[in-house]
Amino acid sequence: MHPYICVSGLIVPDLPYAETSAFRDEAIKNELELVTNSNLIQPLTISISYD
C-alpha cells in the first residue's frame, strides 16, 4: 500500500444483517468505520485528502 493512502472505513451497502456482527468486529479490530444500508439514513460524505 502507498504510504500516503489512509482508509478510515468500509462501505458495504448490501451486507446481510446476519453477517454484520463479523464485519463490525473486524472493522473495530482494524480501527475502521463500517457503513451499511442501515447507516445510510443520513447523507454520506466522503473526503479525500492528499497530505
What pLDDT sits at residue 36?
Answer: 80
- The answer to whether 21 and 27 have CB atoms below 8 angstroms apart is no
Number of domains in the chain: 1
What pLDDT sits at residue 46?
Answer: 64
Give 1-49 pLDDT, tens digit per residue: 556 667 788 888 778 888 888 888 988 998 888 888 765 555 556 666 6
What pLDDT sits at residue 6?
Answer: 75
- Please determine, for residue 50, whether its predicted confidence score (pLDDT) is greater than 70: no
Q: Is the pTM of this model over 0.85?
A: no
Q: Which residues touch 32 (CB under 8 Å, ≥6 apart)?
A: 7, 8, 9, 10
What residues make up the domain containing 10? 1-51
Tell me if residue 25 falls in helix, strand or coil: helix
